[in-house]
Structure 1
Amino acid sequence: MSFWDTRYDRTDYIFGEAPNAFLAANAPRVKGYATALAVADGEGRNGVFLAEQGLAVLSIDASPVGLVKADGLARKRGVSLTTHCLDIADYDWPEAAFDVVAAIFIQFAPPALREAMFAGMVRTLAPGGLLLLQGYRPEQLAHGTGGPSQLENLYTEALLREQFAGLEIISLESYDTELTEGAAHAGLSAVIDLVARKPG
C-alpha cells in the first residue's frame, strides 16, 4: 500500500470533510463556469465542494483509497464527481479542457515535477479559465503544522509569479493563518494563495 493509501485508510477524513477555506472563499469567482479539475484531490473535500457549486468536476489523485472516500463524500453531499486514479507525472493535461483548476496543498512534488504540473495546469485551463492555488511558504517549516519537510517543495511569491507568468494574476497573497483542516493541517500555518486567470 502506498504512503497516501496508508494515510487515507481510516474511517475519518484526515484533512476533514469541509472544503479548504481559501477555496470556499473564492466560491463567488467560480459562478458561471462549467467544468473543474481538482488536482491531487485526495479524499475529495475540494472536488466535492466544486461540484456543490454546480461544476462538472474531475478529481484526480494517485490514491485509490482516497478516491473511494471522495466518491463516498460526494454521495453523502448529494453531488457527483468523476474520479481518475493516476500518477500525476503521467497525466496528459488535456488542452483547454477546464474552466477552473483547483490545486490545494499539492506540495508532494519536487521542483522538476512541480514545474511540469504547473505548465500542465496552464495548458489545461480554457481561455478565461481560473486557477485557484494554495500552498505553504518556506516559513511553514518553523511552524511544523503540516506540509512537506523539504524546503524546495515550498512556494514563494517570486516562484509563483515566474511559473504562472502567462496568466493574469488577480491575487497573490502571503500570510500566516490558523488552519483547521482535519488532523493533518492544524495550527498556525504560513500559506500563500494565488488566484489567476488565463487570457482569452
Structure 2
Amino acid sequence: MDKEFWDGRFSGEEYIYGEEPNEYFKEKLLEFLPGEILFAAEGEGRNAVFAAEEAWKVGAFDQSSEAKKKAEKLAKKRGVEIEYKVGKLPELGYEKEEFDAVALIYAHFPPEIRADYHKRLISYLRRDGLVFFEGFSEKHPAYQQVNPKVGGPKDEALLFSMEEIKKDFGELKFLEFYEAEVDLKEGVHHKGLGSVIRFVAQKK
C-alpha cells in the first residue's frame, strides 16, 4: 500500500483507528520512565500523542502527509507537541543512538525494505533503549475471512512471523515476546478478533 492509498484513507475528518492509544503500547509504556521516543509509520498520531502526554519527547514518521496533518491536529487538541516527518526512513535524517525507545505499532513495511528499516531503527536506539511492537501475525488472514472489519494487510507478505521477528530483532534482549488472539477496538478499521505478535525488547 503506497502513499496515495494512505493519503486517501487518512484524508477524512474521522480518526480511522481512533484517537486513543493501542492498549498494549499504553500498558507497556507506562512501565518505563520518559525519554525520547520515535514512532514508525505512526499514521494519525494516537500513540505518539499519548506518549507526549506522558512526558516523552516524541518523534514520528509516516509516508502520508495527510497522516501528519491529522496527528498534528490531535496533538494540538491534547495540548502537546510532536515532531512528525514525512518520507522514506533513510532520508529523514535520524541519528544513531538518538532515541531511548522506538514504537512499531502496526508498522507493516513491505518485505523488500522491512529488514533494513528494522536495522536502522535499532541503530537509532541508545544502549538499553526499548522497542515496543504490535503487528498482525501470519495467522491473521483466517480472522479477516470471518470478520473483514478487523482490518490488517490483505497482502500476506506484509504480515509477521515469530521467526522473522527473531531474525530482525535478535540482537536485542526480549523482555516479553508472544503471539496472541486479541479483541481489537481501534476505530473503524481494527474492530474484532485478530491474531497479533507483541514484544518489548531492549538494546544490549
User: TM-score range with shorter-chain normalisation?
Assistant: over 0.9
Query: Alignment partner of 1:29: what SS?
Result: coil
CA contact (8 A) 2:85 2:92 kept: no
User: 1:8 is matched with which residue?
Assistant: 10
Q: Deviations over 1:152-176 (max 9, x none)?
A: 2211211111111110111101110
Q: State whether structure 2 residue 136 is matched by structure 1 residue 136.
A: yes
Q: Deviations over 1:53-93 (max 9, x none)?
A: 11110111111111111011011111111111112354454
Matches within 5 A, 1:65-84: 65-84=66-85
C-alpha separation between the residues in 1 aligned to 2:93 and 2:73?
26
C-alpha separation between the residues in 2 aligned to 1:64 and 1:184?
20
| CA distance 1:93–1:166, shift in 2 (3 Å) | farther
Identity across the alignment (%):
31
Q: State whether structure 2 residue 126 is matched by structure 1 residue 126.
A: yes
User: 1:115 is matched with which residue?
Assistant: 115
4+ residue segments displaced more than 4 Å = none
C-alpha separation between the residues in 2 aligned to 1:43 and 1:161?
28
The Cα of 1:139 is off from its aligned counterpart by: 1.2
Query: Alignment partner of 1:26: what SS?
Result: helix
CA contact (8 A) 2:160 2:197 kept: yes
CA contact (8 A) 1:19 1:49 kept: yes
C-alpha separation between the residues in 2 aligned to 1:161 and 1:91?
26
Query: Alignment partner of 1:149: what SS?
Result: coil
TM, length-normalised to structure 1: 0.94
Matches within 5 A, 1:25-40: 25-31=27-33, 33-40=34-41
- Root mean square deviation of aligned Cα: 1.3
* Count of residues in Structure 1 that have an aligned counterpart in Structure 2: 197
Q: Deviations over 1:82-136 (max 9, x none)?
A: 11111235445420110010010011x2222110111011111111110001101
CA contact (8 A) 1:30 1:100 kept: no
User: 1:185 is matched with which residue?
Assistant: 190
CA contact (8 A) 2:133 2:200 kept: yes
Q: Deviations over 1:32-70 (max 9, x none)?
A: x31010111111001101111111101111111111110
CA contact (8 A) 1:93 1:121 kept: no
Letter aligned with residue 178 of structure 1: D
TM, length-normalised to structure 2: 0.92
User: 2:147 is matched with which residue?
Assistant: none
| CA distance 1:92–1:120, shift in 2 (3 Å) | farther
CA contact (8 A) 1:178 1:186 kept: yes
CA contact (8 A) 1:15 1:184 kept: yes
